[in-house]
């Protein structure tokens, strides 16, 4: 019998504002969509925290024997500055500043995104579609919305008519905002004169002569609006209605609100049963911001080359730190917090690595089956990883007591303990085994991963001399790089 029949998840639904029993549309199958990155810069730690949360959700659903189709998109066109309908495309702007092609920008930062997630031991999604790969689907979706009377074309651009939609639907139901309040708090902005109302948003934008990324459409040569791509790709691969849609808290409005409106306007149904939002990551109690310098990227955290932290931290320590907070809580990244998490991580790993050496007794002095269910109860309660970790430390204490002869465990319970702790530590939380003596190896791995990414950036920029220099100088100190279809790996000779 599949585990999901024995374990019942309750998850917090942002749409209703309460925890609900999770019941997928099709028994045994889960469709999950998570908004991916706009690939115009290196992925930042706030993104990593969000994707790490949904990686854990994905892992737990798979652990419960659900067949999961996990779709996470790549935004490679259509995302304008400040998430608005005016200004320059973020990718096009980056390409102009660096004097390269937009798709070179996309390639460089998509590679970086994958490398960072691989470093943190993420499972790949089932499907990773791109906005540029689904222009036809987006044009078809716009046509449906126009035909249904919820969009209008002006001078080659197409806008979603929020006021018309709100006459029969509830625009703002996800973010709990009322259209009247939005109208009252909205100023008319330059460059939006084509709109009937400031609250309307772009489905298709006519490209200006200097705009490089453009496609033909019935309305103009142009490009799709940012909100549209997720509606088109999620419904293509998961159906008109699917189970879970996730993303960062900052996407709830307007991005996710607009997704709901687009789907209801085009198809007549609300697309998602359960909306999940991961909260923000702060640095030393303040919002991360490039403009203020209060920011650190994954490479800097892994290498220790930054002004905020006393040392380098391994990917698993960072995963452990993230898992010690609920995905719905604001998480403050501090050196003290990471140091404490590192100690806890190695304490847990030490206990895990003692299991194989434990001797079984005739009876157990602890109820392992009850402990196992407590672990499931924690994850079943809206993926409560902090409570799960508390139960894992209970097991660590028990393991040490058995080793010291202060507690006993039967052979059957010993196997159950080992199976359960390995499942939750490695399969669900996604941690990788290590001991304190491995910390130097972790630092080496982190440093080489940084060099591999620098080499890939050099190759993407056609700086092959620098690429070869990194490879050759690593080889001189006994670190051999190997390029393969799944990326670059290394070995120490």
Binding residues for ATP: 290
Q: Which of 431, 455, 265 is nearest to 344 (CA)?
A: 431
393 contact partners, CB below 8 Å, separation of at least 6? 344, 347, 348
Which residue numbers belong to the known binding site?
35, 230, 255, 259, 290
Q: Which of 295, 319, 290, 322 is nearest to 306 (CA)?
A: 295
Transcribe 400-414 into DSSP letters. Answer: HHHHTTSS--BHHHH
Residue 235, CA distances (Å) to 72, 224, 250 in order: 12, 16, 22
Which residue numbers belong to the known binding site for Zn(2+)?
35, 230, 255, 259
Q: Which of 417, 381, 386 is nearest to 399 (CA)?
A: 417
Q: What angle do CA 375, 376, 382 make, to 5 degrees?
A: 105
Q: Which of 461, 459, 491 is nearest to 474 (CA)?
A: 491
CA distance 194 to 90: 22
End-to-end CA distance of the chain: 47
Tokens 């099709």 label which residue? Answer: 26
Helix (H) / strand (E) element for 492: namely strand 487-492
Task: Annotate 132-171 with b (16+ C-beta within 10 A) or e (fewer).
Answer: bebbebbbebbbebbeeebbbbeeebbbbbbebbbeebeb
CA distance 201 to 145: 13
CA distance 345 to 409: 24
Q: What letter does residue 38 receive in the DSSP assignment?
A: B
């Amino acid at each position: 019998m599949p585990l999901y029949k024995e374990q019942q998840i309750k998850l917090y639904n942002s749409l209703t504002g309460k925890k609900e029993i999770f019941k997928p549309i099709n028994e045994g199958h889960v469709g999950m969509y998570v908004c991916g990155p706009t690939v115009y810069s290196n992925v930042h730690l706030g993104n990593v925290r969000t994707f790490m949360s949904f990686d854990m959700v994905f892992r737990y659903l798979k652990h419960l024997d659900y067949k999961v189709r996990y779709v996470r998109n790549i935004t490679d066109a259509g995302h304008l500055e400040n998430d608005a309908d005016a200004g320059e495309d973020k990718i096009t702007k980056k390409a102009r500043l660096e004097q390269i092609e937009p798709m070179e920008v996309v390639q460089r930062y998509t590679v970086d995104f994958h490398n960072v997630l691989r470093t943190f031991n993420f499972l790949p999604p089932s499907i990773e579609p791109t906005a540029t790969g689904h222009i036809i689907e987006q044009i078809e979706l716009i046509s449906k919305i126009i035909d249904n009377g919820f969009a209008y074309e002006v001078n080659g651009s197409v806008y979603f008519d929020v006021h018309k939609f709100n006459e029969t639907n509830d625009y703002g139901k996800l973010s709990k905002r009322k259209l009247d309040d939005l109208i009252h708090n909205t100023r008319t902005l330059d460059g939006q004169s084509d709109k009937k109302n400031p609250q309307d948003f772009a489905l298709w934008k006519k490209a200006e002569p200097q705009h490089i990324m453009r496609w033909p459409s019935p309305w103009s040569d142009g490009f799709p609006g940012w909100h549209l791509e997720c509606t088109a790709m999620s419904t293509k691969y998961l159906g008109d209605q699917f189970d879970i849609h996730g993303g960062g808290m900052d996407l709830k409005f307007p991005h996710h609100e607009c997704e709901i409106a687009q789907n209801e306007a085009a198809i007549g149904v609300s697309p998602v049963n359960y909306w999940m939002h991961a909260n923000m990551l702060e640095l030393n109690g303040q919002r991360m911001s490039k403009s203020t310098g209060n920011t650190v990227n994954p490479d800097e955290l892994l290498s220790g080359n930054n002004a905020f932290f006393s040392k380098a931290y391994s990917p698993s320590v960072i995963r452990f730190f993230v898992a010690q907070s609920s995905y719905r809580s604001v998480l403050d990244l501090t050196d003290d917090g990471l140091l404490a998490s590192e100690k806890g991580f190695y304490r847990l790993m030490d206990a895990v690595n003692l299991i194989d050496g434990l001797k079984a007794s005739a009876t157990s002095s602890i109820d392992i089956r009850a402990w196992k269910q407590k672990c499931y109860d924690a994850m079943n309660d809206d993926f409560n990883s902090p409570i799960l970790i508390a139960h894992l430390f209970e097991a660590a204490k028990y393991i040490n007591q058995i080793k010291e002869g202060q507690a006993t465990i039967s052979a059957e319970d010993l196997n159950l303990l080992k199976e359960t702790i390995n499942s939750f530590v490695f399969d669900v939380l996604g941690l990788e085994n290590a001991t304190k003596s491995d910390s130097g190896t972790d630092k080496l791995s982190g440093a080489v991963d940084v060099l591999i990414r620098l080499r890939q950036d050099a190759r993407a920029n056609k700086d092959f001399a620098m690429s070869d220099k990194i490879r050759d100088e690593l080889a001189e100190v006994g670190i051999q790089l190997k390029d393969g279809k799944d990326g670059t790996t290394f070995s120490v000779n």
